[in-house]
């Protein structure tokens, strides 16, 4: 079979989805795919564009597999624009002058920001909000303007409020100007718009509705004067146009393809243009003369064309324009006929001014069928209500939006109900995946794509799992039927302080290597007792038992604690002397510490004594506990620093040292938005702002790296520490065994919103208890290594052979000479392409 070539013009989210869909189905490799990507980076999550402000790292927005690793049938040309199409010759000419032939052409050019014809719209200081480059330019202007400067966003729709949020995160004071009488005019009605305006105003936005921008002028100092139609003026440092988009159809216009009446490349339900060899997908496509600006319909067009190129008969199924989003921390959702435009439509409205929530359901004229709805302030019912659009209601409409009313369960949905609108996944598809063995959220995401785009359907997927009879065992192990969180509550409530007492009353058997260290961690988290006291010593795993990291050759590593990475010259000298005197291998770790490798078990107390005498601890590079708090130099030294990041890092590490938890915890403190401490890759990340600190939570490295998410912004130091106290103790109490903070947050019902409500708003009324628990830890902390040195019974554990304490284990050795020459230099350089050589690393596992 002859291989054909399909050229894809554009590599946004929809273009990427088309390539994935085609390659996943083209088992016979009938098509080679050539993608022309105008931007310098491959496909990224444009829906989450405002999150770029948190990291300024394009890789954080990159769509999975956007470089198609290992696929020889896909080629992506970055920074290459399609200039023209010759339909007769079936070629595309690129910005580099290359002429590329095609058998099929797919236009995925997307859209461009609409800039209203306002006098002065081309002034310096005016920007659009569409790409990563746009945000880079906005950032530079924001930094020049300074914290608190005013900025204007023209447009109060989805993109406008996203842009306003980005400006707020950059430290500016946004003004939103919307021509319509309310914000989000295409998603919410008048009642929802009133509440939304009140909520975002409370968050620091100035909202101007029912007015237009008349002119923009710039004064001698560079400030903009934005004149509005109500005769008011706004003085601003910058202006961002986010007043909607228009389909990018110029290349289609130039080559003579038929266009829609309001722009866009006109296509039929097969997404085929007036040329049968040319297709259009996404925002540039006018499907039967209508363009769609949401990712869900765009993905649907991509799937249709992939099917058609493989001789299928797919047609565009219509568009679900439902949206669920969080704008500036405010829940907003709309679905179906949200604005009650259907003939005879009835409305049921619940406007709770006290709770600041608004809910409206739109019903058919007989009040039996759900046509649509709007939710503002609380969108928790979205996942269960949206799949019911067009179907008979299972209960009285008012009860479905009342807090005390009926709940729509998964059982009320028929199999053909679309649960995931972004990826067109029905309940029946999910149930089929469960029947085939997908027994958790991650497995269902992997095999159906449900829940992988906006995530709004995840709560309903959980309900379907439960209603399908999938049993998720909460048992810690065969000896305890309770989960780790339940055992924590039992220990806290009963005061039981031994494993034997706990298993005798609440478990069975003698325990195992799962429950013993777990209970040991719980006991350590609920008291200041030394972990090697009495029965607890026997519960610990090897690292905790010897208060050091055991390595593959049987030796141990010691990592002196340096809070915040800070260390005096005298302490550095002591560390160097220890390494020299005991023949240890030294390495700077990723967490700003010095790792000393190669210590024998009987040498550990001798090393600790010298560290303690120098005013240092050994450090907890081995435990399921707080490891390190990494810092940049902050305002003490850096010309960009706006807060004392080192001082904050030292304070946090000293406060939380010794805190036992379900998994290891790492923290970082950066002194400015340049983020040199990489705080957003940590379980707790703190980034300085002009007005205080931004707190990020639940990030981690490891096999599945996760970016931390913003929990609260512009906090003073006292509030910052209070929130971290609550967050850490809530995690310690509720997480599963060996569950890091990122998967814990993903599994937490309500996710980040619920966590923010618990930590910042005290929604569960437990804030005082969480803070008191952390205060007890801080007050009871003692140096564990000094505790061993002061206790002959504990000290006696640190020998190779208990029955022959003076004997050394002949099987444990570390040959320092193998790595270094007499002058201290490395004997053998490690270079890419050289034959494999022995390295000191080969004997060790890093303690980071």
Cα–Cα distance between 728 and 735 in angstroms, integer?
Answer: 10
Rounded-to-integer distance, Cα 455 and Cα 480, Å:
33
DSSP 52-115: HHHH--GGGTBPTTTT-TT-TTEEEEET--EEEEETTTTEEEETTS-EEE-SEEEE---EEE--
Q: Quick one: angle between helices 717-734 and 751-760, nearest 10?
A: 120
The tokens 């925002």 sit on which residue? 283
Supply 695's token pair.
Answer: 């707190």
Contact indicator for 665, 683 with CB cutoff of 8 Å: yes
Cα within 13 Å of Cα(398), Cβ side: 4
Token pair listed for 402: 């009342």
Q: How many CA atoms lie within 13 A of 668 on its CB side?
A: 27
Sheet with strand 626-631: strands edge to edge: 626-631, 665-670, 684-689, 692-697, 709-715
Structure tokens at 36: 């022309």
Q: What is the DSSP letter of 625?
A: B
Q: What is the CA radius of gyration of the chain?
A: 30
Checking DSSP bridges between strand 173-178 and strand 692-697, what pairing results, if any? unpaired
HSE-up (13 A, CA, CB side) for residue 739: 19
Residue 362 three-state SS: strand
Tokens of 194: 């009133």
439 labelled binding-site residue: no
The verdict on whether residue 567 carries a ligand-binding annotation is no
431 has binding-site annotation: no
Buried b or exposed e, range 747-783, using 16+ CB within 10 angstroms: bbeebbeebbebbbeeeeebbeebbebbeebeeeeeb
Q: Binding site annotation covers 638? A: yes
Are 193 and 156 spatial neighbours (Cβ–Cβ below 8 Å)?
no
Sign of CA dihedral 514, 516, 517, 523: positive
Other C-beta atoms within 10 Å of 167: how many? 28
Residues 6+ apart with CB under 8 A from 593: 559, 560, 561, 562, 565, 619, 621, 628, 847
- Give the relative orientation of helices 767-780 and 717-734 as an angle to the nearest 10 degrees: 90
The contacts found for 775-780 with CB under 8 angstroms, 24 or more apart, are 775/725, 776/528, 777/525, 777/528, 777/658, 777/659, 778/655, 779/528, 780/527, 780/528
Among the listed residues 773, 759, 775, the one whose alpha carbon sits nearest the alpha carbon of residue 709: 759
β-pairing, 4-9 vs 31-37, is parallel
Burial 188-227 (b: 16+ CB within 10 A, else e): bbebbbbbbbebbeeeebebbbebebeebeeeeeebbebb
* Closest-CA residue to 307 (of 355, 272, 344): 272
The conformational region for residue 142 under phi > 0 = left, psi -120 to 50 = alpha, else beta, is alpha
DSSP for residue 836: P
Give the pair of three-digit tokens for residue 727. Answer: 């967050």
| CA–CA distance, 548 with 317 (Å, rounded to integer) | 61
Are the CB atoms for 363 and 334 separated by under 8 Å? no
- Residues belonging to the binding site for siroheme are 676
Residues annotated within a binding site for [4Fe-4S] cluster: 632, 638, 672, 676
Annotated binding site: 632, 638, 672, 676
């Amino acid at each position: 079979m002859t291989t054909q070539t399909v050229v894809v013009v554009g590599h946004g989210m929809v273009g990427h989805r088309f390539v994935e869909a085609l390659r996943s189905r083209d088992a016979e490799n009938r098509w080679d795919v050539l993608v022309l990507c105008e931007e310098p980076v491959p496909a990224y999550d444009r829906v989450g564009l405002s999150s770029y402000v948190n990291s300024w790292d394009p890789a954080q927005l990159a769509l999975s597999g956007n470089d198609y690793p290992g696929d020889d049938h896909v080629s992506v040309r970055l920074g290459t624009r399609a200039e023209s199409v010759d339909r007769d010759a079936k070629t595309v000419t690129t910005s580099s002058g290359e002429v590329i032939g095609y058998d099929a052409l797919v236009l995925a050019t997307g859209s461009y920001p609409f800039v209203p014809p306002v006098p002065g719209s081309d002034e310096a200081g005016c920007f659009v909000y569409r790409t990563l480059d746009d945000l880079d330019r906005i950032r530079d202007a924001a930094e020049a303007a300074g914290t608190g400067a005013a900025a204007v966003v023209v447009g109060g729709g989805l993109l406008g409020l996203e842009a306003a949020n980005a400006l707020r995160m950059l430290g500016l004071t946004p003004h939103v100007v919307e021509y319509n009488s309310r914000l989000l005019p295409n998603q919410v009605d008048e009642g929802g718009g009133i509440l939304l305006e009140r909520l975002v105003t409370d968050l620091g936005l100035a909202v101007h509705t029912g007015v237009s921008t008349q002119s923009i002028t710039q004064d001698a100092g560079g400030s903009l004067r934005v004149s509005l139609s109500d005769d008011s003026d706004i003085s601003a440092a910058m202006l961002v146009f986010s007043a909607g988009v228009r389909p990018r159809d110029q290349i289609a216009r130039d080559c003579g393809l038929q266009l829609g009446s309001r722009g866009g490349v006109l296509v039929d339900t097969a997404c085929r243009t007036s040329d049968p060899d040319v297709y259009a997908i996404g925002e540039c496509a006018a499907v039967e003369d209508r363009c769609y600006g949401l990712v869900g319909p765009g993905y649907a067009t991509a799937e249709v064309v992939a099917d058609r190129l493989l001789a299928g008969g797919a047609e565009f199924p219509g568009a679900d324009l439902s949206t669920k989003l969080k704008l500036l921390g405010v829940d907003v959702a709309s679905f179906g006929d949200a604005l009650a435009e259907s003939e005879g439509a009835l409305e049921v409205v619940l406007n709770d001014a006290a709770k600041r929530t608004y809910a409206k359901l739109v019903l058919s004229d007989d009040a039996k069928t759900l046509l649509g709805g709007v939710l503002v302030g609380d969108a928790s019912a979205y996942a269960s209500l949206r799949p019911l659009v067009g179907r008979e209601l299972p209960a009285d409409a008012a009860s479905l939006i009342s807090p005390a009313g009926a709940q729509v369960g998964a059982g009320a949905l028929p199999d053909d109900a679309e649960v995931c609108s972004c990826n067109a996944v029905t309940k029946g598809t999910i149930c089929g995946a469960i029947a085939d063995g997908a027994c958790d959220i991650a497995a269902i995401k992997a095999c159906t794509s449900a829940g992988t785009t906006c995530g709004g359907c995840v709560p309903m997927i959980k309900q379907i799992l439960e209603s399908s009879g999938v049993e998720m065992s909460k048992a810690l192990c065969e000896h305890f039927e309770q989960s780790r969180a339940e055992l924590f509550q039992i220990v806290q409530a009963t005061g039981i302080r031994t494993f034997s007492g706990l298993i005798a009353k609440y478990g069975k058997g003698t325990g195992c290597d799962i429950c013993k260290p777990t209970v040991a961690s719980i006991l350590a988290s609920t008291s200041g007792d030394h972990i090697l006291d009495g029965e607890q010593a026997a519960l610990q795993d090897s690292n905790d038992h010897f208060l050091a990291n055991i390595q593959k050759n049987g030796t141990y590593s010691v990592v002196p604690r340096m809070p915040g990475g800070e260390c005096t010259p005298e302490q550095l000298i002591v560390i160097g002397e220890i390494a020299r005197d005991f023949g240890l291998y030294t390495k700077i770790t990723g967490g700003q510490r010095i790792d000393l490798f190669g210590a024998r078990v009987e040498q550990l107390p001798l090393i600790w004594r010298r560290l303690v005498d120098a005013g240092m601890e050994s450090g907890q590079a081995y435990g399921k506990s707080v490891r390190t708090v990494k810092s940049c130099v902050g305002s003490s030294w850096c010309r960009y620093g706006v807060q004392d990041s080192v001082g904050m890092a030292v304070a946090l590490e000293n406060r939380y040292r010794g805190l036992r938890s379900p998994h290891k915890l790492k923290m970082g403190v950066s002194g400015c938005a340049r983020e040199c401490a990489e705080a957003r890759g940590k379980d707790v990340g703190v980034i300085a702002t002009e007005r205080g600190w931004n707190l990020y939570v639940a990030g981690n490295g490891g096999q599945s790296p996760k970016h931390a998410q913003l929990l609260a912004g512009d906090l003073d130091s006292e509030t910052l520490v209070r929130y971290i106290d609550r967050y850490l103790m809530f995690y310690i109490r509720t997480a599963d065994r060996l569950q890091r903070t990122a998967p814990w947050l993903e599994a937490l019902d309500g996710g980040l919103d619920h966590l923010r409500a618990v930590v910042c708003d005290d929604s569960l009324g437990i804030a005082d208890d969480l803070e008191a628990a952390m205060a007890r830890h801080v007050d009871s902390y003692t140096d564990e290594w000094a505790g061993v040195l002061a206790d002959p019974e504990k000290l006696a554990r640190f020998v190779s052979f208990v029955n022959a304490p003076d004997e050394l284990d002949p099987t444990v050795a570390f040959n320092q000479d193998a790595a270094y020459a007499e002058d201290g230099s490395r004997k053998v350089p490690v270079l890419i392409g050289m034959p494999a050589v022995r390295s000191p690393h080969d004997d060790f596992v890093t303690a980071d």
